[in-house]
Amino acid sequence: MAGAIASRMSFSSLKRKQPKTFTVRIMTMDAEMEFNCEVKWKGKDLFDLVCRTLGLRETWFFGLQYMIKDTMAWLKMDKKVKKQILDEKIYCPPEASVLLASYAVQAKYGDYDPNVHKRGFLAQEELLPKGVINLYQMTPEMWEERITSWYGQHRGRARDEAEMEYLKIAQDLEMYGVNYFAIRNKKGTELLLGVDALGLHIYDPENKLTPKISFPWNEIRNVSYSDKEFTIKPLDKKIDVFKFNSSKLRVNKLILQLCIGNHDLFMRRRKADSLEVQQMKAQAREEKARKQMERQRLAREKQMREEAERTRDELERRLLQLKEEATMANEALMRSEETADLLAEKAQITEEEAKLLAQKAAEAEQEMQRIKATAIRTEDEKRLMEQKVLEAEMLALKMAEESERRAKEADQLKQDLQEARDSERRAKQKLLEITSKSSYTPMNCSATTLPADLPTFSLISESLSFDFKDTDMKRLSMEIEKEKVEYMEKSKHLQEQLNELKTEIEALKLKERETAMDILHNENSDRGNSKHNTIKKLTLQSTKSRVAFFEEL
């Protein structure tokens, strides 16, 4: 409280003296904001102001990124949620790890495209904790298939939306946002103190997932320490204070710092925003809506462009098909013309052969008549003549048959020639039809040019004040309840997805490789316990009984 009063006094004097200021533009996932900062301010002062404006709870998971000579740098480099999950500093169950990995891929690669994101495109990415990979008999290809399956469902989400979904899922992990410290109660029992945005939690050293006792910030009036002894004063003055001991003095300083920061943030979130902050949030919502409309417009343009490209590809494919048909028709026409020429030449030769055979047959007939008229004086000559006459008759008969066959063959060749000419005429007609089909005006398939730069949003604050008034608790309660209902609906669908994946890969689990964390998480899941309902159940008891329980641990 004293710190808050000092802050108000500091900012009031800042406003009266009107010190030199400069403008800083902050770009968040949802909007762009501008702040007037005093020259002597440090990065932490600006960071705290941004957190207050955005209403961030777990400030230790965020930081300010800035440019130094074309290089991106972080004001707070140790605030990466993804790194803590991958390094297993925050326990994440296998099914949630896969879902988080799919959002990380969406944030990095954008919408899934099977033509671009082919098998193996995630081979070099670090997306899952090593403990999760070692727990199952699954190849990298099998993990990639399951990540890609969910990645494809995130189509249409912008990078900032994917990152926000990642954080929303991560904040439901039991260890998310909790800082653990080794402590002892009055009886000397070794315990763990967990400090987070919700309050103080007491854990068994062997179980960092499920607290044994919880004290929300709204039940705590004061936190202080002397040497290694910490003192917690409940809000209810009728309840005795409870104490615990830490290992080192510097650990006490860190605990106190986290307690003050989280308690201050907890109380600020339950106060009405100043008029200036309300205006900034309203403009941030408008900017978010504008960006959403812009994304929808770009999505529509992208869809139209893709449809135009598909139409163009289809027309090009059809044109190529018509060209191939035209080529085949030309080749058929050439073959028909060649066949017709050959048949005509063969028919002419056959006709000439038939004429020659007919001439020979006539000559044989004349020879036979001459032989018959010749007087044969001797018997031998007569027999010889009879034999020659018989041979001549047989030759004549044979010549007549051959002549008839050649005549039939000539008729057949004439018929084939006529059919070839008909085929040639049909091929020419088809070629003419194909030529007339392919003569069209090409479609203009050029995609709509996307805007190079989006309009920027800026908010210039004339003065900054942290003089907050008392809150309208009813309005805040309604807003919080509305957010809670929306969150529960999303969580239900999300839980169904996680359970489906868990069932799918359960058969591939190597039970002997399960860690203590895996076993504890499975036990909590079987009981239907989650991070939030566990804390809710613990706080159903009175503060006095919980303090007494802590003392007796």
pLDDT digits (tens, 9 = 90+) for 536-552: 888 888 888 888 888 88
Name the one residue in this structure whose structure tokens are 């954008």: 110
Phi and psi at residue 398, to the nearest 5°:
-65, -40
Q: CA-CA distance, 20 to 24, in Å (whole number)?
A: 13
Would you give the distance in Å from CA 517 to the centre of its chain?
Answer: 30
DSSP 33-63: EEEEEETT--HHHHHHHHHHHHT-S-GGG--
DSSP bridge pairs for 400 = none
pLDDT for the residue numbered 18: 64
Does 61 or 228 have the greater pLDDT score?
A: 228
pLDDT for the residue numbered 303: 86
* Across 111-125, 150-164, 488-502, least confident range: 488-502
Mean pLDDT of 412-430: 76
pLDDT digit string (tens) for 457-504? 232 233 323 333 344 445 555 665 566 566 666 667 777 778 888 888
Name the one residue in this structure whose structure tokens are 């403008």: 23
Q: Is the dihedral of CA 307, 311, 313, 314 positive or negative?
A: positive
- pLDDT above 90: residue 201: yes
Mean pLDDT of 510-531: 85
Q: What share of the chain is helix, strand, coil (3-state, %, to 5)?
A: 60, 10, 30
Type of residue at 459: L
Instruction: Give the three-class secondary structure for 194.
Output: strand
Q: Is the dihedral of CA 117, 120, 122, 127 positive or negative?
A: positive
Work out the end-to-end distance of the chain between its first and last CA atoms, rounded to an integer number of angstroms.
31
Mean pLDDT of 335-364: 84
Type of residue at 12: S
pLDDT digit string (tens) for 207-219? 999 999 999 998 8
Mean pLDDT of 500-515: 85
